[in-house]
């Protein structure tokens, strides 16, 4: 016999299917669960319950094991055949180890032994529903991550980006170290995440650390962890990111900024797949894929003696180079449309795009801060623009702030004898002038200069050091 669902006070109360041939017990459970806001449907005949059950129609099933006709274990099996995810609590008056093992093997979430108090029933039900909700949220998160980091969601149609994505697809399924190179703001971490989420390690953790943002001592403990008493303040053992990422992927951003002693420890890990926490004498083995990224010239750093050549070749088994936006002109309008759409959702606006004049400026600009800079500029424009399209007056405010035109190049015929139009020197001249103008504008504030340029602050500091520019000159 089945009774109609009893609605509790909760508007979104869980739906529970209760199967028990004892009428009095099932009525008691219905009352207890109903008073707590659950919707309960009772079946006193197991055959009828199984026939009526449909996938997705209930949030939880509670079934007695010992019933005439079809027993609870068979009910469990048939419900599992229809719905693999719904949690099932089995009730028994004669709990044995063998019965419990059988039920759990067939997919039961929990066992409840008669007689039981109402509080115990509610506790078990609450746990089962919470566990199932957590599992559902986890599945949804994985689905969203898979969609977010699918190759279809990396914006662009240029030949340069297509070549990169073809390489990424091949590399993702091959469990090897990858070094992603490219200028600041080109989307290196996005590519690293796409590699992880399209790899056999996708169900494990993706951990990331910016090697240029932490002092040497902190970076070492973050990567490798430490033992209690290893140094002042080490009051307990602490896992590092390598342990936390076991089975998954560790992304080392700005890997060119690794100190030499950390380079040595990382190299040992890449060779042996083991390391020691700071202050420990026992090696720890983990299974972690290393994906790293840099905008620095590591070969030049090797030549300068600041980077280990053996580590470079361990990290750079496969190299993926991301082209800057100035080499992806055909992608600029697509990216702008993508950022406008995202910000419409964020701000509740309905901006349709850019005016022809603004689009012409956007596609002719070189975007030295690349994707990160464009994303920030579009967001800034949409905070000010009140029309249906981003116009030239608004866009030019933000592009002009960060834009620095290099000095006009001299024609080859005008070069003095013995001189050459050396690209690296031209780039040095441009970056030096660019950084000086940014610091002049911000009064020597490196953080603000990095924000305006759409660059990482650690990268700006590294370039200031490289070109021997002192921020104090502009304060």
Query: Ranked by mean pLDDT, which of 54-68, 243-257, 414-428 comes out on top?
Result: 243-257
What would the CATH number be for the domain defined by 420-474?
Answer: 1.10.10.60
CA separation for the pair 64, 70 (Å, rounded): 11
Q: Does residue 393 carry a pLDDT above 90?
A: no
pLDDT tens sequence across 271-283: 999 999 999 889 9
**What is the reported pLDDT for 402?**
41
Provide the pLDDT for residue 304: 92
Convert the pLDDT of each residue in 412-427 to its tens digit: 333 444 333 444 566 6
Q: Which pLDDT does position 417 carry in this prediction?
A: 41
- Interaxial angle between packed helices 370-384 and 332-347, expressed in degrees from 0 to 180 and rounded to the nearest 10: 50
Q: What is the mean pLDDT of the chain?
A: 84
> What integer pLDDT is reported at residue 105 of this predicted model?
82
In this prediction, what percent of the chain has a pLDDT beyond 70? 87
Which of the residue ranges 101-105, 191-195, 308-312 would you say has the lowest mean pLDDT? 101-105
Whether 399 and 357 have beta carbons less than 8 Å apart is answered as no
Pick 330 or 136 by higher pLDDT: 330
CA atoms within 13 A on the CB side of 231: 9
One DSSP character per residue, 95-128 reads --HHHHHHHHHTT-SEEEESS--HHHHHHHHHHH
Predicted pLDDT of residue 420: 38
* CATH number at 15-142: 3.40.50.2300
pLDDT band at 151 (very low <50, low <70, confident <90, very high): low
pLDDT at residue number 210 = 93
Res. 149: pLDDT tops 50: yes
Res. 464: pLDDT tops 80: yes
Kindly tell me if the per-residue pLDDT of 138 is higher than 70. Answer: no
Q: Supply the pLDDT for residue 452.
A: 76
* Of 16-30, 225-239, 298-312, 372-386, minimum mean pLDDT range: 225-239
Asked if the model's pLDDT at residue 403 lies above 80, the reply is: no
As a whole number, mean pLDDT of residues 171-186 equals: 94
- The predicted pLDDT at position 387 comes to 85
Mean pLDDT of 295-302: 94
**CA–CA dist 349, 339 (Å, integer):** 13
Question: Regarding beta strands 274-275 and 284-285, do their DSSP bridges make them parallel or antiparallel, or are they unpaired?
Answer: antiparallel
Is the pLDDT assigned to residue 146 strictly greater than 70? no
Is the pLDDT at 254 greater than 50, yes or no?
Answer: yes
Domain spanning 326-402: CATH 1.10.3260.10: no
Same CATH fold assignment for domains 326-402 and 420-474: no
- Quick one: tokens of 290? 């290393």
Asked whether the predicted pLDDT for residue 454 surpasses 80, the reply is: no
What are the sequence ranges of the domains in the chain?
Answer: 15-142, 149-323, 326-402, 420-474
Query: Distances in Å between the alpha carbon of 17 and those of 59, 90, 111, 124, 185?
Result: 8, 12, 16, 15, 53
Instruction: Domain 149-323: state its class.
Output: alpha beta
Whether 119 has a pLDDT exceeding 70, the answer reads yes
In this predicted structure, the answer to whether residue 411 has a pLDDT above a threshold of 70 is no
């Amino acid at each position: 016999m089945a009774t109609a669902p009893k609605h509790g006070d909760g508007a979104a109360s869980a739906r529970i299917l209760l199967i028990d041939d004892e009428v009095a017990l099932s009525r008691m459970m219905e009352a207890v669960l109903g008073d707590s806001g659950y919707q309960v449907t009772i079946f006193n005949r197991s055959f009828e319950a199984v026939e009526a059950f449909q996938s997705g129609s209930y949030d939880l099933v509670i079934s007695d094991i010992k019933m005439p006709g079809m027993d609870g274990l068979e009910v469990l099996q048939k419900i599992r055949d229809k719905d693999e995810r719904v949690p099932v609590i089995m009730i028994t008056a004669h709990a044995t180890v063998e019965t419990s093992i059988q039920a759990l093997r067939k997919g039961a979430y929990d066992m409840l032994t008669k007689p039981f108090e109402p509080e115990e029933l509610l506790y078990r039900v609450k746990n089962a529903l919470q566990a199932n909700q957590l599992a559902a949220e986890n599945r949804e998160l994985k689905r969203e991550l898979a969609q977010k980091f699918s190759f279809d969601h990396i914006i662009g149609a240029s030949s340069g980006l297509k070549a990169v994505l073809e390489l990424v697809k091949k590399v993702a399924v091959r469990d090897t170290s990858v070094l992603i190179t490219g200028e600041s703001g080109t989307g290196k971490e996005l590519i690293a995440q796409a590699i992880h989420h399209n790899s056999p390690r996708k169900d494990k953790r993706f951990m990331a650390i910016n090697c240029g943002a932490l002092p040497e001592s902190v970076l070492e403990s973050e990567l490798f962890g430490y033992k209690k008493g290893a140094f002042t303040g080490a009051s307990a053992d602490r896992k590092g990111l390598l342990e936390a990422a076991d089975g998954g992927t560790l992304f080392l951003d700005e890997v060119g900024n690794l100190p030499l002693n950390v380079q040595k420890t990382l190299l040992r890990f890449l060779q042996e797949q083991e390391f020691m926490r700071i202050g420990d004498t026992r090696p720890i083995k983990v299974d972690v894929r290393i994906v790293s990224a840099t905008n620095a010239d590591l070969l030049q750093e090797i030549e300068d003696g600041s980077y280990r050549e053996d580590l470079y070749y361990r990290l750079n088994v496969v190299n993926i180079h991301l082209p800057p936006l100035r080499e992806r002109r055909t992608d600029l309008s697509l990216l702008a449309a993508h950022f406008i759409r995202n910000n419409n959702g964020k701000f509740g606006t309905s901006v349709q795009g850019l005016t022809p004049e603004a689009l012409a400026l956007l596609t002719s600009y070189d975007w030295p801060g690349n994707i990160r800079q464009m994303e920030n500029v579009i967001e800034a424009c949409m905070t000010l623009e009140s029309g249906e399209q981003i116009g030239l007056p608004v866009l030019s405010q933000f592009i002009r702030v960060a834009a620095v035109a290099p000095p006009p190049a001299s024609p080859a015929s005008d070069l003095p004898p013995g001189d050459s139009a050396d690209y690296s020197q031209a780039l040095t001249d441009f970056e030096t002038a660019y950084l000086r103008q940014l610091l002049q504008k911000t009064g020597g504030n490196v953080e603000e200069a990095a924000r305006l340029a759409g660059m990482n602050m650690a990268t700006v500091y590294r370039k200031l050091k490289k070109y021997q520019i002192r921020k104090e000159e502009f304060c």
